Each structure stands twice: as structure tokens, then as C-alpha cells.
């Protein structure tokens, strides 16, 4: 009997994904931000051990998570992980955000600020600093993805243009000046009638929904352009 040998070309059945390296500035930025975040967790881990009268395991745990997130950001900055660099940085930023809310904000600012007013300034500035770091990590992750394909840039610009009116109105309403002051006054019932309030609320809501949806769609499209290329199977 003759043996029948069937050769299988694995290159036709499997497609390797090409993950380009992120720009060097993105890597350096992620590494530097990781160092800052990791160092910012150390004093709060120390305070949580005995400064509050007993071991605050909740605050300690979230600060430990923050330190680990900073450590992994450093590894990403050193180029230890090539695949999924953008989503890795995004996950780190999300971890820092969750730990910040449930640890420093709820665990100290909401629960211990009154009892330990001497630490409140440090807590406030730590919170603000980490918020800046979170935004910066998201920006670095986006740049790393957009840099893969120049076609993503126009979509990103259009998304920013759609988001600009929303940000402008939000700022004017927050600081109560210009059209924002009139909107606040009308929504609060300071001028006009109830019908005006309802119409204004409806129009404003539709405005936000339309522009947020458009910006989100364009931003997703920009990220889709940055997907790694896969060779076509024959």
C-alpha cells in the first residue's frame, strides 16, 4: 500500500497580524507617566497602614492596584509588549481611573477628609494629577493607533470638530457666561415660561445627542483605520 501524504499550507489557514511598534514619543510618555503614577501611590499606601488608626485595607488595595498599573505602563514604555499596545495603555488608564474613584476619592475625600484635613490638599492634588495622567494615557494610546494609518487623521479631526460645540456649551454653562448663562437661567425658570424650558431642554438634548453620536462614530472609524493589517489568505 502506498502512503498518501497530504501537505497543509498553514500560511493559507492562519494569518499573522502585523503589529507596528508605537511611536517612540508615545512609549517614552507612557513610561514617564507610569513612574509618576507608581510613585504617587506610595505615600497613600504608607498612610493607609496605620495613619488612620487602623489598617485601611480598601485604600491600600486600590493604591496597590494603582502602583501595579504604573509598573505595567513602565513596561509598555520600555517596549516589553508589542501586540495591542494601544488597548494595553487604555486598560491601564481605566484601571487607574477605577482605583482613583473607589480608593482615593471615596476612601479618603468622601470618608476621611473631615477627620484628616492636613492630608486633604495632598489628596486633592493627587486626584487632579492622576486625572491629567489618565487623559494623557488615552491621548497617547489614540496617537499610537492613529499613527498606523494616515487615513485615520481626517476622521479624528472631524470627531474633534463635532465635539467642540459640546465642550464650548458645557464650559459656558459651567462658568455661567455668554449663551451658557442664558441657558442656565432659562432652564432654572428665571426667565420665560415652562413651555420655553421644555423646548430648550428638548433642543439642547437633541443637540448633545446628535453631536455626541457623530463624534463617537467618527472616532470609532478613526480607530478602525488603525487596525493592524492581516495578509489575505489565498
Highest mean pLDDT among 14-23, 42-51, 168-177 belongs to: 42-51
Highest mean pLDDT among 63-72, 91-100, 140-149, 169-178 belongs to: 63-72
Q: How many CA atoms does the CB half-sphere of 132 hold within 13 Å?
A: 8
Judged against a pLDDT cut of 70, whether residue 7 lies above it is answered with: no
Q: What is the mean pLDDT of residues 7-30?
A: 66
Cell triple for 234: 489565498
Per-residue confidence band for 31, with pLDDT thresholds at 50, 70 and 90? very high
Q: Pick 183 or 158 by higher pLDDT.
A: 158
Q: Which runs of consecutive H residues, i.e. helices, occur in the chain?
A: 10-13, 24-50, 57-77, 85-99, 120-146, 152-175, 179-187, 194-225
In 3D space, the residue among 83, 126, 85 whose CA is nearest the CA of residue 103 turns out to be: 126
Task: Report residue 86: phi and psi, to 5°.
Answer: -65, -45
Q: What is the dihedral of CA 189, 192, 193, 197, to 10 degrees?
A: -60
pLDDT of res. 148: 78
Judged against a pLDDT cut of 70, whether residue 5 lies above it is answered with: no
Question: What is the tens place of the pLDDT at every residue in 191-227?
Answer: 556 677 778 778 888 888 888 888 888 888 887 776 6
- Domains of the chain, residue spans: 19-147, 149-234
pLDDT of res. 2: 53
Amino acid at each position: 500500500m502506498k502512503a498518501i501524504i497530504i501537505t497543509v499550507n498553514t500560511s493559507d489557514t492562519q494569518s499573522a497580524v502585523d503589529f507596528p511598534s508605537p511611536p517612540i514619543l508615545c512609549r517614552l510618555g507612557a513610561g514617564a507617566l507610569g513612574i509618576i503614577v507608581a510613585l504617587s501611590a506610595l505615600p497613600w499606601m504608607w498612610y493607609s497602614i496605620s495613619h488612620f488608626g487602623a489598617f485601611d485595607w480598601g485604600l491600600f488595595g486600590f493604591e496597590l492596584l494603582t502602583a501595579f498599573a504604573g509598573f505595567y505602563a513602565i513596561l509598555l514604555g520600555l517596549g516589553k509588549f508589542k501586540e495591542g499596545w494601544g488597548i494595553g495603555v487604555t486598560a491601564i488608564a481605566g484601571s487607574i481611573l477605577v482605583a482613583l474613584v473607589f480608593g482615593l476619592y471615596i476612601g479618603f475625600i468622601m470618608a476621611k477628609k473631615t477627620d484628616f484635613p492636613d492630608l486633604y490638599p495632598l489628596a486633592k492634588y493627587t486626584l487632579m494629577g492622576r486625572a491629567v495622567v489618565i487623559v494623557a494615557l488615552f491621548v497617547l494610546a489614540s496617537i499610537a493607533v492613529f499613527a498606523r494609518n494616515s487615513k485615520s487623521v481626517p476622521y479624528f479631526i472631524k470627531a474633534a470638530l463635532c465635539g467642540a460645540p459640546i465642550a464650548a456649551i458645557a464650559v459656558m454653562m459651567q462658568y455661567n457666561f455668554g449663551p451658557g448663562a442664558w441657558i442656565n437661567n432659562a432652564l432654572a425658570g428665571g426667565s420665560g415660561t415652562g413651555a420655553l424650558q421644555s423646548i430648550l431642554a428638548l433642543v439642547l438634548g437633541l443637540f448633545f445627542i446628535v453631536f455626541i453620536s457623530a463624534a463617537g462614530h467618527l472616532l470609532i472609524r478613526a480607530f478602525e483605520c488603525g487596525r493592524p493589517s492581516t495578509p489575505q489568505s489565498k
